[in-house]
């Protein structure tokens, strides 16, 4: 089998990759909906793929992997890798989880991710109301993640929240030392969330990046009695092209509250310091940014050897990304907690794909399916109507 073409289109906002072969089998991958600008970057790699055997996934990836980088520039490589596994699974007549080592679990746990509700404000009562809505969501989440601090609107809504100038521009541009008022406000909001969820639903918090080390330690210590799942991206994260493992280690060693990071990191090599220094307790790589499914599996296994937990990111990965997450998370060691549940946006995404269960999530869990490849495919005639002008041949 040989690769004959690499295609990319934007469906809704998600870049979708298609790898075609001389045996009529196609595979699909998907990048985050926040990256519709990636099409030309994906197509750059075509020159290295055509003529290769797509079922030799690692051999093909060795040609292109080193030309990616931290989020967002590893997304193209990651989506291509997903598509290669889809082809390999379809060619073998096996689900991708079989090719990655087989199932460790029949169901994979998820947390709320893309299921969000507008918040009227950033006060404790607003956070309590938000958790009530999350708790009532039909997915039955057993872990819910909220946003506080520099990963929330507290920065702009709460007067005198931190000692710094409020900045716009790139995502999460603000950083600085919190005022005493700001720190107490954040803690009060977390207490309000936990009062709603009780001890039957885990609470995780996306916090930054942007916290200074002293504030990160103060926050984590103050929240120790609440038994949180984790505090995420306090120091670095999201679109930051570096890790700062030593800074994270200082926070982690100062508290019993679990510390989490990793969504922006590309390739296993860039997780090495975090893992070998036990700089955090939980890692959250995104398969759409780390370099793909095998890369995520490798990091999960190496983390397990060092006693670290794994809770993959995925909020904007779309429905093909969801299928990929289900496949790889089924194979992870028992350090796996849950992955961040993405939605299909716009809603017509659910009409143009087949293979997903209905409902997808029950009691916070997704049943692992056994169809070949990633287990989902396009209803081509329905999907064609959403192709942009000039891309009518994407499915041909």
Q: What is the DSSP string of 147-189?
A: E-GGGSTHHHHSTT-EES----SSTT---BEEPHHHHHHHHHH
User: Is the model's pLDDT at 168 over the cut of 90?
Assistant: no
E-assigned strand segments in the chain = 3-11, 14-21, 26-30, 107-111, 143-147, 162-163, 177-178, 202-206, 230-232, 259-261, 282-283, 309-310, 339-340, 353-354, 365-367, 377-378
Q: Which residues pair with 176 in a beta bridge?
A: 211
Same domain (yes/no): 324, 343: yes
pLDDT at position 240? 95
Residue 180 has a CB neighbour count (10 Å cut-off) of 9
User: Is the model's pLDDT at 170 over the cut of 90?
Assistant: no
pLDDT at position 178? 98
> For 116-129, what is each residue's pLDDT tens digit?
999 999 999 999 99
Query: 395 lies in a domain?
Result: no
Same domain (yes/no): 221, 181: yes
Same domain (yes/no): 65, 191: no
With both helix axes pointing from N to C terminus, report the angle between 245-252 and 213-222 in degrees, rounded to the nearest 10: 30
354: enclosing H helix or E strand: strand 353-354
Query: 12 lies in a domain?
Result: yes
Same domain (yes/no): 54, 164: no
Query: 174 lies in a domain?
Result: yes
Same domain (yes/no): 72, 127: no
Q: What is the three-class DSSP state of 144?
A: strand
- Region of 205 on the Ramachandran plot (φ > 0 left; ψ -120 to 50 alpha; else beta): beta
Same domain (yes/no): 12, 142: no
Q: What is the mean pLDDT of residues 214-241?
A: 97
User: Is the model's pLDDT at 171 over the cut of 90?
Assistant: no
Same domain (yes/no): 137, 53: no
Place of tokens 């210590």: 221
Same domain (yes/no): 307, 348: yes
Query: 393 lies in a domain?
Result: no
Query: 322 lies in a domain?
Result: yes
Give the separation between CA 88 and CA 154, rounded to whole angstroms: 46
Query: 216 lies in a domain?
Result: yes
Position 6 confidence tier, pLDDT thresholds 50, 70, 90 = very high
Same domain (yes/no): 132, 13: no
Share of the chain above pLDDT 90, in %: 98
User: Is the model's pLDDT at 295 over the cut of 90?
Assistant: yes
pLDDT at position 221? 98
What is the span of the domain harbouring residue 25? Answer: 3-94+379-384
Same domain (yes/no): 28, 158: no
> For 260-293, what is each residue's pLDDT tens digit?
999 999 999 999 999 999 999 999 999 999 999 9
Give the separation between CA 101 and CA 91, rounded to whole angstroms: 17
Q: How many domains does the chain have?
A: 2
CATH number, residue 7: 3.30.390.10
Mean pLDDT of the chain: 97
Give the separation between CA 170 and CA 126, rounded to whole angstroms: 26
> For 21-73, what is each residue's pLDDT tens digit?
999 999 999 999 999 999 999 999 999 999 999 999 999 999 999 999 999 99
CATH number, residue 323: 3.20.20.120
Same domain (yes/no): 193, 259: yes
Q: Among residues 156, 162, 155, 159, which one has the least CA distance to residue 179?
A: 162
> For 84-105, what is each residue's pLDDT tens digit?
999 999 999 999 999 999 999 9
Query: 31 lies in a domain?
Result: yes
Give the separation between CA 238 and CA 160, rounded to whole angstroms: 25
Query: 41 lies in a domain?
Result: yes
Same domain (yes/no): 16, 52: yes
pLDDT at position 317? 98
Q: What is the mean pLDDT of residues 306-311?
A: 98
């Amino acid at each position: 089998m040989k690769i004959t073409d690499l295609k990319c289109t934007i469906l809704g906002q998600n870049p979708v990759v298609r790898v075609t072969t001389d045996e009529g089998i196609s595979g699909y991958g998907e990048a985050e909906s926040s990256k519709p600008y990636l099409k030309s970057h994906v197509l750059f790699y075509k020159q290295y793929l055509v003529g290769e055997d797509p079922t030799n996934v690692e051999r093909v990836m060795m040609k292109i992997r080193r030309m990616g980088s931290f989020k967002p520039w590893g997304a193209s490589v990651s989506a291509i890798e997903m598509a290669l596994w889809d082809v390999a699974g379809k060619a073998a007549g096996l689900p991708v989880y079989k090719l990655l080592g087989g199932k460790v679990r029949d169901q994979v746990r998820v947390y709320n991710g893309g299921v969000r509700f507008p918040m009227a404000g950033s006060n404790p009562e607003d956070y309590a109301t938000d958790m009530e809505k999350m708790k009532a969501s039909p997915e039955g989440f057993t872990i819910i993640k909220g946003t506080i601090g520099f990963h929330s609107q507290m920065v702009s809504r709460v007067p005198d929240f931190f000692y710094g100038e409020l900045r716009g521009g790139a995502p999460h541009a603000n950083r600085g030392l919190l005022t005493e008022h700001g720190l107490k406000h954040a803690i009060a909001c977390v207490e309000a969330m936990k009062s709603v969820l009780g001890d039957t639903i885990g609470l995780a918090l996306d916090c930054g990046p942007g916290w200074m080390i002293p504030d990160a330690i103060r926050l984590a210590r103050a929240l120790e009695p609440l038994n949180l799942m984790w505090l995420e991206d306090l120091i670095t994260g999201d679109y930051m092209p570096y890790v700062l493992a030593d800074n994270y280690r200082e926070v982690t060693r100062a508290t019993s509250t679990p510390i989490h990071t990793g969504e922006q990191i590309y390739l296993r090599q860039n997780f090495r310091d975090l893992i070998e220094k036990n700089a955090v307790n939980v890692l959250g790589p995104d398969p759409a940014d780390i370099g793909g499914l095998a890369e995520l599996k490798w990091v999960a296994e190496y983390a397990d050897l060092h006693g670290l937990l794994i809770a993959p990111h995925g909020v904007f990965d779309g429905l093909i990304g969801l299928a990929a997450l289900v496949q790889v998370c089924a194979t992870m060691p028992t350090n796996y907690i849950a992955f961040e549940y993405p939605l299909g946006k716009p809603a017509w995404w659910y009409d143009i794909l087949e293979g997903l269960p209905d409902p997808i999530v029950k009691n916070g869990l997704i049943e692992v399916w056994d169809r070949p490849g990633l287990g989902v495919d396009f209803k081509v005639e329905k999907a064609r109507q959403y192709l942009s002008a000039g891309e009518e041949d994407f499915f041909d």
